């Protein structure tokens, strides 16, 4: 089990591809949990309360986590958790009315699986049909 919380949004897309490649090249199998932000938030680093005071910026964001599989097709996305529902359960009713809007911009957790055997098997199967 690999967990990355509050890290990947600071990596460039090239660094992210290298990171994912390092993982799939180094392990036979794993489950990966990635804490990610929306593209909307990624474009607004200077408006972030803490980051606006630092010399750091968000590099990218994801709508639904599929970008990770595009960066490394060896990975399979098995889930996506948006934290809006659990956060709003503690919020006043006015925020609950804004749920559809907040859902688009809140943090999310992508869940991915990798198994080297399945990758090799998929390639063999694909080559057999060509």
Helix (H) or strand (E) holding 110: strand 108-115
Cβ-contact 10, 50 below 8 angstroms: no
Alpha-carbon span 68 to 50, nearest angstrom: 26
| Apex 34 CA angle, 13 and 54, nearest 5 | 65
Whether the per-residue pLDDT at 13 is higher than 60: the answer is: yes
Q: What is the pLDDT of residue 39?
A: 85
* % of the chain with per-residue pLDDT over 70: 68
Q: Domain of 47?
A: 2-129
- Structural domain tally of the chain? 1
The pLDDT confidence band at residue 6, using thresholds 50, 70 and 90, is confident
Q: Is the pTM of this model over 0.85?
A: no
Higher pLDDT, 84 or 40: 40
């Amino acid at each position: 089990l690999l967990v990355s919380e509050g890290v990947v949004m600071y990596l460039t897309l090239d660094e992210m591809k290298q990171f994912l490649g390092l993982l799939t090249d180094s392990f036979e199998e794993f489950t990966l949990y990635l804490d990610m932000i929306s593209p909307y938030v990624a474009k607004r680093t200077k408006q972030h309360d803490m980051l606006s005071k630092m010399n750091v910026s968000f590099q990218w964001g994801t709508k639904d986590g599929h970008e990770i599989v595009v960066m490394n097709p060896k990975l399979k996305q098995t889930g996506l958790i948006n934290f809006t529902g659990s956060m709003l359960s503690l919020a006043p009713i006015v925020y609950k009315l804004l749920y559809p809007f907040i859902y688009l911009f809140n943090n999310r957790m992508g869940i991915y699986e990798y198994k080297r055997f399945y990758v090799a098997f998929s390639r063999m199967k694909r080559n057999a049909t060509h």
